[in-house]
Amino acid sequence: MKSHGPNKGRRVVVTGLGAVTPIGHNAAETWQGLKERRCGIDTISLFDASTFETRIAGEVRGFDLEKVQGKAPAEIQDVLDRKNTFGYAAALEALGDAGLKLGDASVDGSRIGVSMGTEGRRDCLLPELAARKLRARTEAERRAALAAIPGYEYLRYAPYALVYALSSLIGARGPMNTISTACTSSSQAVGFAVEKIRSGDADIMLAGGAESLMEPTMVSSFILLGALSKRNDNPKAASRPFDGARDGFVLAEGAAMLVLEDAWHAYRRGARIYGEIAGFGCSINAYRITDSPPDGQGPLLAMNAALEDAGIAPSEVDYINAHGTSTVQNDASETMAIKRCLGEYARKVPISSTKSMTGHMVNAAGAIEALISLLVIGEGYIPPTLNQEMADPVCDLDYVPNVGRQAKVRTVISNSFGFGGSNGSLVFREYVA
């Protein structure tokens, strides 16, 4: 996927960041957690998982959902379930960080858009309520069944609920989108936002993702697929990307938001710039739904497209924030894709998976890793891959094992490869006016 047309020259920068993760309730806490090598994985507390084969996850603990929900207008409060509340909090932080005042008359709402990577809730009662309505034998029973469905109940469970809430919050009347491609959702949502600014359809885009799969059905589904780690007795060591003893990924929840802006627009209002989103590429594997291609072909296409879109040579890449889920197949496939994309230079590039600390935030994973990539550029620090202890002959690159590094980083690739075969790669670089 590449940009064409008269607005290709429009540069897209990031002026605001916000996050809620298992290692921090905002972007600064999350970044500090990465520098301290803090792991947010522990025993599941949100429901009784004592009989489950996997009993660990990356939960957001100690976060006051009601306090955040109370900040929202009444009509928005109705759609803020757990994951959407994380997204709402991250968006408030990102907008404040960007210096954008809500309802500011100087900002044209028709030039602002929202792009989210997320999905609807799975515990929706609407089918049950609808069935009850159909079973009603009298008009009175039908009316009673219909009255049992609150006005905002459908919207609360809809995949676009978060986009609705955030567009209402900021008065955004520009391009809107909700993307649900599993682990690639929010990286593709960021890519969509980039395209809308480049094309001239928007000056500002709020982009990111939100996730919470902490309920029995979803956890048990991933257990049945054999995808989750079973290191229940040692949660902090469960997520071990690229390690020879890895046995599966660890589900996590949270949200991350970025304010994307046309560079000239950001300059005119004196905004702080974290970095530039220089390239975006996406693809699909056309392989098995539950497996990653051993040759890395699908991920390779996304990485190549992102570099081409950015006009950057492989030898210019200073760091890769890997998808690195800690599953046997995914890590091997991504390693192969990196080798094929960068050639011999692949052995010189530091690569790390921050999922070793945050766990896998699924729909929000691409957004939080995009945020981390920008902070790597700004702070000159590369977070490590925790739990790198046993060599794997297939995964033989520099994964920054266990200890982070100070380094000058100008260009970063951030990879997201989704369950089902979707792929997305973003290229970030230091912004030079």
Tell me which of 39, 183, 341, 395 is the catalytic residue. Answer: 183
Query: For residue 3, what pLDDT band results from cuts at 50, 70 and 90?
Result: very low
With a cut of 70, say whether residue 217 has pLDDT above it. Answer: yes
With a cut of 70, say whether residue 136 has pLDDT above it. Answer: no
pTM of the model: 0.92
pLDDT digits (tens, 9 = 90+) for 300-324: 999 999 999 999 999 999 999 999 9
pLDDT digits (tens, 9 = 90+) for 384-413: 999 999 999 999 999 999 999 999 999 999
CA gap 374, 351 in Å, rounded: 15
**Contact in structure between 52 and 220 (CB atoms under 8 Å):** yes
**Contact in structure between 275 and 430 (CB atoms under 8 Å):** yes
With a cut of 70, say whether residue 66 has pLDDT above it. Answer: yes
Helix %, strand %, coil % of the chain (to 5)? 40, 20, 40
Residues 225-243: what's their mean pLDDT?
A: 97
Residues 149-172: what's their mean pLDDT?
A: 77
Tell me which of 25, 265, 282, 323 is the catalytic residue. Answer: 323
Catalytic residue at 323? yes
3-class secondary-structure state, position 355: helix
CA gap 238, 49 in Å, rounded: 17
3-class secondary-structure state, position 57: strand
- Name residue 406's beta-bridge partners: 381
With a cut of 60, say whether residue 4 has pLDDT above it. Answer: no
CB neighbours of residue 116 within 10 Å: 37
Residues 173-180: what's their mean pLDDT?
A: 94
For residues 84-110, one letter each, b for 16 or more C-beta atoms within 10 angstroms of the residue's C-beta and e for the rest, the string is bbbbbbbbbbbbebbebeeeeeebebe
With a cut of 60, say whether residue 365 has pLDDT above it. Answer: yes
With a cut of 90, say whether residue 160 has pLDDT above it. Answer: no
Q: Which two tokens stand for residue 163?
A: 């986009």
- Burial label for 416, CB within 10 Å (0-12, 13-18, 19+), is buried
With a cut of 90, say whether residue 198 has pLDDT above it. Answer: yes
DSSP 13: E
Q: Give the per-residue pLDDT at 54.
A: 98
Q: Give the per-residue pLDDT at 433.
A: 87
Q: What distances in angstroms separate CA 65 from CA 71, 82, 105, 119, one per listed residue?
A: 10, 7, 30, 19
Q: Give the per-residue pLDDT at 5.
A: 39
DSSP 236: G
In the chain, what percentage of residues exceed pLDDT 70?
Answer: 88
Q: Give the per-residue pLDDT at 109.
A: 87
E strands along 180-266, which residues? 204-211, 254-262
With left for phi above 0 and alpha for psi between -120 and 50, is residue 37 left, alpha or beta? left
Domains of the chain: 12-120+158-429 (3.40.47.10)
pLDDT digits (tens, 9 = 90+) for 25-50: 999 999 999 999 999 999 999 999 99
Tell me which of 25, 282, 360, 395 is the catalytic residue. Answer: 360
Residues 168-189: what's their mean pLDDT?
A: 94
- Count Cα atoms within 13 angstroms, Cβ side, for 350: 25
Could you tell me where the DSSP H helices lie in 207-351? 216-224, 263-268, 297-310, 328-342
pLDDT digits (tens, 9 = 90+) for 318-364: 999 999 999 999 999 999 999 999 999 999 999 999 999 999 999 99
User: At a CB cut-off of 8 Å and minimum separation 6, what does 185 contact?
Assistant: 117, 118, 119, 179, 209, 362, 363, 364, 366, 418
pLDDT digits (tens, 9 = 90+) for 86-123: 999 999 999 999 999 766 656 788 999 999 999 865 55
Mean pLDDT (the chain, rounded): 91
